[in-house]
A and B are shown apart, each in its own frame.
Chain A
Amino acid sequence: MGQIFHRSTNMVSRISIYGAVLIIAALAYALYAIAMSPWYTNVGVKLQQPVPFSHRHHAGELGIDCRYCHTSVENSSFAGVPPTQTCMTCHSQIWTNSSMLEPVRASYRNDTSLEWQRVNALPDFVYFDHSIHIAKGVGCTTCHGQIAEMPLTQRAGTLYMSWCLDCHRQPEKNLRPKAEVFDPFYQPPSRLHAVTVDGMEFTDQLTMGRYLRKEYKVASLQYCSTCHR
């Protein structure tokens, strides 16, 4: 009886056995890479907005307080997207002829809303409240990234549950003094840069975080029903 298989089959079968392990590992890595890629998470993706609003200019260069526009952030679950009237408090006086701002003026004239695209939208099955985070010393930039350096607003976190839990399991990693919550240029304490709280100087985030956690009575809420109500 003649040979059914060519000699090379030995090599092919060996390669395929070891290759199977590599292929499975590569597939697992590919899935992980896709799940973490901006293509899937929208992190750093700039959306098409009716007006190219720049947080860098308004919050960074001009130093307008976050709460000037996002008025309900301290006492509501929703931080609030400003109505056109808020824009017009300044833009009725400055840049009144700018073509870039024409949609804003049109919205004001016609009493229609500007249709901003949501950058950070949580799914409906997640309950999230801005006010409690602000009240407990979680800064705006902790979740929204270096907003004062974004010419066009983009998502800074994946909004994955792991992203939420990362802080909920260890809030001290991110807490800051309440006075600094709205500072878009806030730097966490380091050896080069100390942060003063209640007359104490901290040069280490975890030490300060633990102190603040106690001071502000921050619970590490991890019950399912904390967010999935």
Chain B
Amino acid sequence: MASEGSGKALGVADTEPIIARGHTLETVTNKISSIILTRGTTPGWLIGFLIAFSMLMLLNLVITLLMIKGVGIWGIRIPAAWGFAIVNFVWWIGIGHAGTLISAILLLLHQQWRTSINRFAEAMTIFAVMCAGMFPLLHMGRPWLFFYLMPYPNPMWLWPQFRSPLVWDVFAVSTYFTVSLLFWFLGMIPDFATLRDRAKHKAGQIIYGMLSMGWRGSAVHWSRYEIASVLLAGLATPLVVSVHTVVSFDFTIGIIPGWHTTIFPPYFVAGAIYSGFALVLTLAIPIRRVYHLEDLVTARHLDIMAKVMLATGLIVAYGYGIEAFMAFYSGDYYEKFMLTNRLHGPYMGIYFMLLTCNIALPQLLWIRKVRRSIPALFVISLIVNTGMWLERFVIVVISLARDFVPSSWRMYYPTRWDWATYVGTFGLFFTCFYLFLRFLPMISIVEVRALVHETNEEDLRLHK
């Protein structure tokens, strides 16, 4: 293989190409656009969509019931007033971070391996933020008054409490959603134009035509497109760090033992990227199989994502370590109790499950064989997702259920409606995701074409 030598010549450790060889501009366009335009609605897609949609209807049911009866249908009882809703909020919003990291930071760092996975990672971000955003609104008890959170001139002459991190959350999450959506849409414009030109039906031509916003592929268009992409990437870059930092402030500003620590922002951000990459893997592995995209989303991609997971997982482990260390180092009675309560309290099973899922098992990723084994990666990604969900449960529930005064302690048990809400947001996520797979280009045609061009040029140059 020619690349073997070239890799050494260039001093690159991993000589494997990012995407499989043998692709031309034509084949890339054909392959990705045919998924939407000629593959049609397959029975497998339909079944998956219907399952997701029925879960979405479950969410509909829960929300209706919640509007009628109030948040009492959930298991939240004082002192644990933040139950599943906040656990799920933090979990979903964390997942989104991988998409932004891949699309913004890795774009600015010219990491070419991002091109095949950025589109659906961004889609994942947007749908995950949609799911996340619902929880604080539903948790308010009177969701129809959600606009009280926004600073707008009102007849009460009241502003939101700007000193509250819950208000910072509103800004962080809504900015995040807006920038992610714009970034996602902007990236798809040239691809929409391709779909418009290739669509057979009038409806497809018109819809993709409108979405492509008059894209003709002129040099001016390309130049502006590049500038806008870099600008938006620059805007999105701080969001990767800031959003989950603000989410962690929801906890750190409070004085509850186990929340009031300075390690939270970095450790939350690392955890967010950790869980985000896990979900990208969970989604990418079946998708590349079903749509036969193994040559575009290669084993190398999965390997790199596994490494990112391993690295962020270690940061998270460091966070747990520091939490435990500081509990003793601070000498604070309640902090120490918080730790013993995690280790020996009524929720100790969950804490040990968390340590197993988030720290112990992902260490398998050190082994190259595991990173190259697709079933193993899939299982580990699911384990990490579970682990990160448990982490939020540990933070939210264990600290709240047993705070300062033993007389106010009370166990938190989720009700069936808690579970139904959680499952329901999966319905929302996967309904959106199925529609995305069916109607939007799940891999960036434009960027992969650019990559193919560069790879082929490189090969030609090296063959001379």
Contact = CB atoms under 8 A, between A and B. Distances in A.
B197 interface: yes
Q: Most chain-A CB neighbours within 10 Å: which of B155, B209, B213? A: B155
A4 B192 CA distance: 14
Q: Most chain-B CB neighbours within 10 Å: which of A4, A32, A162, A166? A: A4
B214 A160 contact: no
A160 B205 contact: no
A137 B202 CA distance: 74
Contact of B214 (A1, A13, A158, A165): A13
Contacts of A166: 157
A10 B216 CA distance: 13
Q: Most chain-A CB neighbours within 10 Å: which of B156, B197, B202? A: B156
Given A4-B205, A10-B214, A13-B214, A160 B197 contact: no
Q: Which secondary structure dominates where chain A touches chain B?
A: helix
Contacts of A25: none
A161 B153 CA distance: 12
Contacts of B214: 10, 13
A35 interface: yes
B160 to A, nearest CB: 13
A5 interface: yes
B155 A13 contact: no
A160 B155 CA distance: 6
Nearest to B156: A161
Contacts of A1: 197
Nearest to A17: B213
A13 B214 CA distance: 9
A13 B158 contact: no
B140 interface: no
Contacts of A13: 213-214
B155 A162 contact: yes
Given A4-B196, A10-B214, A161 B158 contact: yes
A1 B202 CA distance: 12
Contact of B156 (A4, A32, A160): A160
Contact of B157 (A4, A5, A32, A161): A161
A32 B202 CA distance: 43
B206 interface: yes
Interface in A90-123: none
> What size tier do the contact residues of chain A reach?
10 to 19
B155 A4 contact: no
Contacts of B197: 1
A117 B156 CA distance: 25
Given A10-B214, A13-B214, A4 B209 contact: yes
Nearest to A162: B157
Interface in B198-212: 202, 205-206, 209
A4 B206 contact: yes
Interface string B307-333: 000000000000000000000000000
B156 A162 contact: yes
A65 B292 CA distance: 90
Contacts of B157: 160-162, 165-166
Contacts of B196: 4
Interface string B208-233: 01000110000000000000000000
A36 to B, nearest CB: 8
Nearest to A32: B153
A10 B209 CA distance: 12
Given A4-B196, A10-B214, A13-B214, A158 B205 contact: no
Interface in B175-208: 196-197, 202, 205-206
Interface string A156-196: 00101111011000000000000000000000000000000
B213 A158 contact: no
Interface of B: 153-158, 196-197, 202, 205-206, 209, 213-214
24 contacts: A4-B196, A4-B202, A4-B206, A4-B209, A5-B206, A5-B209, A10-B214, A13-B213, A32-B153, A35-B155, A158-B155, A160-B155, A160-B156, A160-B157, A161-B155, A161-B156, A161-B157, A161-B158, A162-B154, A162-B155, A163-B155, A165-B156, A165-B157, A166-B157
Closest 3 A/B residue pairs (Cβ) = A162-B157, A160-B155, A161-B156
Interface of A: 1, 4-5, 10, 13, 32, 35, 158, 160-163, 165-166
